[in-house]
Amino acid sequence: MTAPGAAAAMMAAVRLHFLGATRTVTGSQYLLETDRARVVIDCGMFQGSPHDVIRNRVPFAYEPTAIDALLLTHAHLDHCGLIPHLVGSGFRKPIYAVGGTVDLTRLVLLDSAKLQEEAAESHQRFAARHPDRAAAEDEATMADLAAATTEDPAAATRNAPPAAITGLRAPLYTVDDANAALALFQSVEYGVEVPVAPGITATFLDAGHILGSAIIRVVVREAQGDRTIVFSGDLGRPDTPIIRDPVTVTSADYLLIESTYGGRTHEPEEEAVRMLGEAVKLTADAKGVLLMPSFAIGRTQEIVYRLNQLLQAGSVPRVPLYLDSPMAQRATDIYRAHADYFDDDARALIARHDAPIDYPGAAVTASAKDSLAIEQAARPLMVVASNGMITGGRIVQHVKALVGDPAMTLLFVGYQGEGTLGARLQQGATSVRIDGQDLEVRCQVRSIDGFSAHADEPELLAWLGNFATKPRTTFIVHGDPAAQAAFEPKVRALASRRRCPPGARRSDLT
């Protein structure tokens, strides 16, 4: 039998906890722990089906006040969305991110907080009108929450029992919480090693995913020796327009790699651009509507870049474009302000006084009223609206109004998470339920996956192939189970010494 003291001494000096984005693509969150420091990497929101979303209410797996620093890979909500909740729960230490990410995260978190407050208000109004139904719903939500708590890979380390969770109708966080979180951000430069906690440094390297996105190389320096842990974050693709290519990493003791597109290969870029052009031409000929659900950050700027390119090249007729996402417009402004992160092609365009992320005469709709008026506008027309998976935002009302219209083409230009309305439509649903109404699907539905901001499997493997020193362990994260299962044997085949447990709960980095 080992004495407790000896057991503690035998414990690994570095422990890594996988708290989200393990068997799914949302809720990214990892805790790196040494005997003298605790650092959280990403603090993302779970998104998608109600089953996923309830996981946001599961208490943090650690004591927020005991964390020394938070490192943020990029501004997408599934990586930063729970930060104000963490701050509302007592976290007060620095949050490190690249400058572009700091600016984009401000946009994302304030928007998210506003949505949280609005949803809570509407839930409370509903509860006041229908107390019995609200009570029954709360009970069902509590049951879901209890299930999520026990199913969650991190449940074993959580302290609070689900029965202790109250305030289901309260917002997860408020605008005040978001502002308090934003005050903790410290902007870092790409490639500069920054001390973030006792014995721990972090270097942010361009991940080529969206503006300001980073791969984070964490070095732990302890008496037992140094360990380098690389978090890929969301890894972009070579030759993505506007932003630079993902930085090549050649060594790590431990590697966490995303696997969103495990087992899948994107269409070649030229094919994706051709399909976009074809959809524009068809819409023009049919005097129809081309509706593109798009993430406000990254994808919208790329789609506008491509549409502008097609138009300038004379490949498509000029069809009026409505940019129906105030958030996307603000994100575009932030992109413009950080042109120093752009790749050579985009900088060359700017040097020639071209505006690479603008479409001539694009109509920007500010109010919800303007948004609804788009459907009455003269056709043909194109709309880019958020959000990308049709789980909320202005796109939902457009889909609701137009899903039964055969002259409408619903064009998916981004990833559709399991269980989302977007995924249902993409998979060929013949009817959908929106706001309690069953609607027949009569529009055309098309998909282009060649515009992904994520590396596909060959690109992930190529990036992994740059490692001259093989990681002791490669952890496959940020992927649905099928993608991880497809990806794992190929990662193993790259080097027999590698182990890659997908969906791990905790790992001792010896």
Query: Which residues make Cβ contacts (< 8 Å) with residue 238, sequence separation at least 6?
Result: 208, 245, 246, 459
What is the closest distance, in whole angstroms, from the C-beta atom of residue 297 to Zn ion in the complex? 8
CB within 8 A of 114, min separation 6: which ones? 175
Report d(CA 49, CA 147) in Å as an integer. 14
Query: In the bound complex, what is the minimum distance in angstroms from residue 45's beta carbon to Zn ion?
Result: 12
In the complex, least distance from residue 90 CB atom to Zn ion, rounded to whole angstroms: 27
Convert 135-146 to b/e letters by CB count within 10 Å (16 or more is b). Answer: eebeeebbebbb
**CB of residue 51 vs Zn ion: minimum separation in angstroms?**
21
Nearer to Zn ion, 253 or 459 (CB): 459
Q: Which long-range contacts (CB under 8 A, 24 or more apart) does 334-339 make?
A: 334/100, 334/103, 334/104, 334/107, 334/211, 335/211, 335/242, 335/301, 337/103, 338/99, 338/100, 338/103, 338/211, 338/212
Q: How far is the CB of 453 from Zn ion (least distance, A)?
A: 7
Nearer to Zn ion, 76 or 330 (CB): 76
CA distance 467 to 501: 19
Is residue 71 within 8 Å of residue 202, measured between CB atoms?
yes
Beta partners for 15?
Answer: 33, 508
SS3 content of the chain, % helix, strand, coil (to 5): 40, 20, 40
Give min distance, CB of 101 to Zn ion, in A.
11
Tokens representing residue 19 in the block:
């708290």
Of 257 and 316, the one with the shorter C-beta distance to Zn ion is 257
Question: DSSP states of 443-468 as a string?
Answer: SEEEE--TT-SS--HHHHHHHHTT-S
Nearest CB to Zn ion, comparing residues 76 and 237: 76
Burial 449-473 (b: 16+ CB within 10 A, else e): bbbbbbbbbebbbebbeebeebbeb
Nearer to Zn ion, 44 or 88 (CB): 44
**CB nearer to Zn ion: pick between 244 and 442:** 244
Binding site for Zn ion (CB under 5 A): 76, 234
In the bound complex, what is the minimum distance in angstroms from residue 99's beta carbon to Zn ion? 17
103 or 234: whose CB is closer to Zn ion? 234
Helices (H) and strands (E) in the chain, counts: 16, 21
Residue 433 Cα distances to 156, 253, 437, 440, 442, angstroms: 37, 48, 5, 9, 14
- Nearest-approach distance from CB 165 to Zn ion, in angstroms: 28
Please tell me whether residue 202 adopts helix, strand or coil conformation: strand
What's the rounded Cα separation, in Å, for the pair 351 and 345?
10
Report the residue number, 14 or 72, with the smaller CB distance to Zn ion.
Answer: 72
CA distance 355 to 57: 43
Q: How far is the CB of 429 from Zn ion (least distance, A)?
A: 26
Tokens of 493: 């085949």
By beta-carbon proximity to Zn ion, the closer residue of 152 and 234 is 234
Give whichever of 234 and 457 is closer to Zn ion, judged by the CB atom. 234
- In the block, tokens 């603008």 appear at 358
Return the number of the residue (233 or 471) whose C-beta is nearest Zn ion. Answer: 233
In the complex, the smallest distance separating the C-beta of residue 215 from Zn ion, rounded to whole angstroms, is 12
Integer Cα distance of 171 and 56 in angstroms? 11
What minimum distance in Å lies between the beta carbon of 74 and Zn ion? 6
